């Protein structure tokens, strides 16, 4: 089990997402963010959660003093694409996005509840289908 120092968990309800950025969730003390080696955000699987997840990840990266703009951009892009896929392509009620770092690596992970959506498949819808290709492309570099 992770301690508070090892992980800064945030759980947002649909009401928190609706009230964002006025939610009390972002009132976490900066010292907890600085000392944390990981951030995990649990969000309702709705479109509005994606930019909130990205904002929280950006704040955590700021507190980690991760200044390399290429790494920051890549991490936020991957997080955005994976969170969007989890919301659009599954029937999940909740997604969990995690950032974890050690001295040499930054890990980005998004988990959903693992049930495929019964909606239209991405290849039948204009403008869809590039997310995992983008993720693969930026990670291979």
| Structure tokens that stand for 57 in this block | 């990840």
Q: Give the pLDDT mean for 29-41.
A: 73
Number of domains in the chain: 1
pTM, entire model:
0.78
Dist. CA 95–CA 115, nearest whole Å = 12
Give the residue from 59, 83, 61 showing the smallest Cα distance to 72: 61
Note the pLDDT tens digit of each residue in 47-67.
999 999 999 999 899 988 888
Does residue 28 fall inside a structural domain?
yes
- Segments forming the whole domain that contains residue 55: 8-140
Residue 136 belongs to some domain of the structure:
yes
Distance CA 56, CA 120 (A): 31
Q: Is residue 3 part of a domain?
A: no
> Is residue 110 within 8 Å of 125, Cβ to Cβ?
no
Is the pLDDT at 81 greater than 90, yes or no?
A: yes
Predicted pLDDT at 34: 63
On whether residue 118 sits in a domain, the answer given is yes
pLDDT class of 32 with cuts at 50, 70, 90: low
What CATH number does residue 42 fall under?
Answer: 3.30.565.10
Per the domain annotation, does 2 fall within a domain? no
Tell me if 49 sits within 8 A of 87, measured CB to CB. yes
């Amino acid at each position: 089990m992770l301690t508070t120092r090892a992980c800064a968990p945030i759980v947002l309800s649909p009401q928190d997402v609706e009230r964002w950025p006025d939610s009390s969730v972002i009132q976490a003390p900066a010292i907890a963010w600085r000392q944390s080696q990981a951030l995990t955000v649990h969000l309702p699987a709705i479109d509005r959660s994606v930019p909130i997840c990205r904002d929280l990840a950006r704040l955590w990266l700021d507190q980690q003093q991760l200044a390399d703009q290429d790494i920051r951009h890549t991490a936020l892009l991957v997080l955005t694409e994976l969170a969007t896929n989890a919301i659009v392509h599954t029937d999940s009620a909740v997604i969990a996005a995690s950032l974890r770092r050690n001295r040499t690596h930054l890990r980005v992970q998004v988990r959903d509840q693992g049930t495929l959506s019964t909606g239209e498949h991405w290849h039948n819808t204009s403008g869809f289908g590039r997310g995992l290709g983008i993720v693969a492309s930026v990670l291979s570099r």
